[in-house]
Structure 1
Amino acid sequence: MTKTYQAQIVRRAVAAMFFMAGLCFSSWASRIATIQEKLSISEGQFGAVLFAMPVGLMLSLPVSGWGVSRFGSRKVVSVALAAYGISLIGLGFMPNMYLLALNIMVFGFCSNAVNVSVNAQAVATELLYRKPIMASFHGVWSLAGFIGGGIGTFMIGQQVPPFIHFILISIVTVGSVFICWRYLNDDKGSGEKKQSAFTKPDSALITLGLIAFCSMVVEGTMFDWTTIYFKKVVNAADAYAGLGFTAGMCMMATGRFVADGFSARFGLKRTLQLSGVLSLSGLAIAIAFPYLVPAIIGFMLIGAGISSVVPLVYSVAGRSTTMAPGPAIAAVSTISFLGFLIGPPIIGFLAEAFSLRVSFLFVALMALLVIVFTTRAKV
């Protein structure tokens, strides 16, 4: 077996892990409005429930870092992704908001473990290819989000209960892990484990983390609140409530597949600045014109805007001269993923205090900060 062929097999296996991670999360995101309505949870209460996700993330941080350092990312991503799929099932069964919050905390724990370990796999795979391919992996994650959103829209239209939907996704996820785990990068003993996965990052990495943090607030809001926004602000019929999410995920996936080439041609800073401009423009359209067609266009621009930020930031972090690739990715991804998780609950609280439409002004501010931080960063 040639090295090129072996690298291709590894890349496909890692891409499959990204795909299943995206499918799990988008399956949950596509049924949030259904679950909220089923349990009769208000926006404010739902915002409190969603805070269980960052709690799970924080609990996962030391465990994930220690696990990747001690056992290697292959074992961690295999176990964490299987658990991620299984924990998805409970989200469709929970009979009240308290048990839902507990299950979301477990879901968040697994999600962060997958996030840290699968990006470590991506960094190791980039070394095999000796060229940037991080964005393509995140493109696969977004493609899974698009497909998961489409499946969710179909399930809603057919009135399939969330727990049946989630059982099917769980079976596919666990089966994929069983098939692919042996082909992943075996990075145990690579020497990187001697460095802590959470060594204090330098100012450059912190700035990268802040750029990704702001973009991930936008991304997390799109995942958790788009369907609800279309139902309650746009007043879309149930059959069309998932179109904004699906359109955004489609553009997000497309943008990630072209991000590496675009960045190589026009530069990282211009690419990140354009990303912020697209997100800000899309939010402005969706807020100013809360009607079906303009809102769909707005969320398409948002999806295009957030598409390249995180993978490009992770790729730059992986080339840090002050930290090894794995710990650098873990540090930046931890900062950014917090934005992904705490943004949606904040939207819930703002929506309760003002309105859901007004709360999206906070998301627009985050898009603006992507432009500001990128302009001031040395990238």
Structure 2
Amino acid sequence: MPDIRTATGAPPPAEARRARTAVSTLFFVNGFTYTNAVPWLPVLKDRLALDNAELGLAIAAAPTGAILTGMLAGPMIHRFGSGRTAVGASLITLGALPFIALAQNWWMLAAAFLVLGSADAWTDSGQNAHGLRVQRRYGRSIINTFHAVWSMAAVSGGLVGATMAGLGVPVLWHLGGVSALLVCVNLAVGRMLLPGPEHSERGDGAAHGGDRTPLPVRAVAVLVALGMLLMLAGGIEDSAASWGAVYMTGELSAPLFLAAMPFVACQAMMALGRLAGDRATDRFGAVAVGRVCGLLAGGGMALALLLPHPAAAVVGFGVMGLGVSTLFPLTLAAAGEIPGVRSGDGVTIVGWLGRAGFLAFPPLLGVLGDAFGLGAALWVVSVGGLAVFLLASVLRPRG
């Protein structure tokens, strides 16, 4: 059982405990939603007669939608509150999920992914901003636990989707049923979120009213540095999903069964790292944890590349996953605590930049892989881990 006491040793108020359960549920719903559709992608590809490039472009509509509309999350949080934004945007995401199964052509499939990606960006900002409100009530780090729940939900969603596909359940029944069930869950936990304005728990009074004063130069510099850190974290995390299997089969001649193991190892170690991340952050501080994570991320990939064997690659990608595990929650937490910046705006801006890393790194590594070989290209990930180590000082709390 997780420790539910505050930093002072006293139990948190019942309102904060209920809100923590609600935010954890929102993270679970978010992680569980799209991953149910992933095992169905080959089926949809065959049904719509798409080639690899067409399917890839359709899927890319999701991060494209997030990039194009993600910055709207800040004004939405300021207008409606982080809790309502998270619940409302999650309902849009769930509404888009069955349309993946209903798509009759490429355009319909891409449109479903576009809506899903846009709403997912709003959900992500809203649930992280509300999670920070709950964390302030606790007086200690709990943000990593929320992201651990997301990681476990993502794995669970993939397993459920694979099971349904393997059993031959119609894709619309599966995705429609998941959507209907999670809509009910979302509506139920929405009543458990914290009331009041977004700045209620902040001591600096950020984001009172509707002022439009320019951000301080120092705050802008911190936002940019945190955005760079999250871009690196996104690129490192994506390398396991985008290139782990390709590296195993193309560079190490591993059998197909082992090809998925770098991604599995990375996700499993990310979940474990996030479960332990809050205690480590409270004990050693966000900067120290961030620096160690950068070294682990870079060192794990270096291990996978220096010892060209499938077993070493799986271990290396797992160590890399452990390294990247706390970078997203710690960076978003720091973005929500910048003096003079509304929490919702900070989380939205830095989160938007982080999604750019997921878009930029796969083609970058692809181009370098074609030119120099994938093994050489993946050293960019190790360099990214070193850059995380150098940038980790930006995670220092600012009161």
TM-score band (shorter)?
0.7 to 0.9
SS class of match (1:185): coil
**What is the aligned partner in structure 2 of residue 18 from structure 1?**
27
| RMSD, aligned α-carbons | 3.6
Q: Aligned AA for 2:335?
A: A
- CA spacing shift, 1:354–1:33, aligned 2, 3 Å: farther
Alignment of 1:194 with 2:210, yes or no, is yes
CA distance in 1, matches of 2:339, 2:88: 31
SS class of match (1:122): helix
CA distance in 2, matches of 1:186, 1:375: 33
Give the paired residue count: 377
Q: CA deviation at 1:128?
A: 1.8
Q: CA deviation at 1:31?
A: 5.4
Deviations along 1:289-309, one digit per CA (max 9) or x if unpaired, are 665533332221122111111
CA distance in 2, matches of 1:211, 1:301: 19
For normalisation by structure 1, the TM-score amounts to: 0.83
- CA spacing shift, 1:30–1:265, aligned 2, 3 Å: farther
CA distance in 2, matches of 1:98, 1:344: 23
**What is the aligned partner in structure 2 of residue 133 from structure 1?**
142
**What is the aligned partner in structure 1 of residue 67 from structure 2?**
58
Deviations along 1:171-208, one digit per CA (max 9) or x if unpaired, are 33222112211111234575656256995742123212
CA distance in 2, matches of 1:28, 1:228: 22
Q: CA deviation at 1:13?
A: 0.6
CA distance in 2, matches of 1:138, 1:352: 34
Q: Which residue of 270, 294, 298 maps to 2:288?
A: 270
CA distance in 2, matches of 1:135, 1:94: 36
CA distance in 1, matches of 2:170, 2:248: 20
Q: Aligned AA for 1:183?
A: M
**What is the aligned partner in structure 2 of residue 145 from structure 1?**
154
**What is the aligned partner in structure 2 of residue 170 from structure 1?**
179
Alignment of 1:325 with 2:334, yes or no, is no
Q: Map 1:45-194 onto structure 2 (within 5 A).
A: 48-94=57-103, 97-155=106-164, 165-188=174-197, 192=208, 194=210
For normalisation by structure 2, the TM-score amounts to: 0.79
Q: Map 1:236-275 onto structure 2 (within 5 A).
A: 242-275=260-293
Q: Which residue of 293, 311, 315 maps to 2:329?
A: 311
- CA spacing shift, 1:208–1:265, aligned 2, 3 Å: same
Identity of aligned residues (%): 25
- CA spacing shift, 1:74–1:263, aligned 2, 3 Å: closer
- CA spacing shift, 1:364–1:47, aligned 2, 3 Å: farther
SS class of match (1:202): helix
CA distance in 1, matches of 2:388, 2:127: 25
Greater RCO, CA 8 A, separation 6+ = 1
**What is the aligned partner in structure 1 of residue 237 from structure 2?**
219
Alignment of 1:295 with 2:340, yes or no, is no
SS class of match (2:141): coil
User: Contact conserved, 1:65 with 1:197, CA < 8 A, in 2?
Assistant: no
CA distance in 2, matches of 1:161, 1:66: 39
CA distance in 1, matches of 2:382, 2:346: 28
Q: Which runs of 5+ in 2 are unaligned?
A: 1-10, 200-206
Deviations along 1:226-255, one digit per CA (max 9) or x if unpaired, are 556666666666665544333322211111
SS class of match (1:320): coil
